[in-house]
Amino acid sequence: MVVAFHKLIGIRPRARFRDSEDGTISVEYALWAPAILLTFIFIADLAFALTLNATMWHGSRDTARALSIHRINEEQAVPYLKERLIAPGRDYAFDVEVDARAVTVSVSIPFSDAGVTNTISRYIKGNFVARVMMYREPA
């Protein structure tokens, strides 16, 4: 007496395959993992670029203040500013202007050099610029 296996268990083989949920987590992981990974990379890149911009503003303000109270002179301004920036190997552009009444300190960097992975530079063109002007204290 030969009885078909699917008759013994009460399920046809195709229906059992169709109703099985084995491997659904793997498929969902394969679909969502790249999107989640790219989101994390984008967030890390944006966070680093914004931190870089914040330190540029802080360094410019600190340098302008040091120049305005005569703590440093114009020749010492760029090295003083470079010490206050993170990622010193980046392609920064510096500009220091000192006259009798005011001090202007400017630092800029292209967006393409501002990120960790430079994924953000594909979508945003231009420069981060931090420019601070302060009046000079009497000598």
Query: How confident is the model over 73-84, as pLDDT tens digits?
Result: 999 999 999 999
Instruction: Output the pLDDT for position 30.
Output: 84
Specify whether the CB–CB gap between 112 and 121 falls below 8 A: yes
Query: How confident is the model over 104-136, as pLDDT tens digits?
Result: 999 999 988 888 887 777 778 899 999 999 999
Rounded Cα gap, residues 108 and 124, in angstroms: 15
Sheet (strand 102-110) strand order: 93-98, 102-110, 127-135
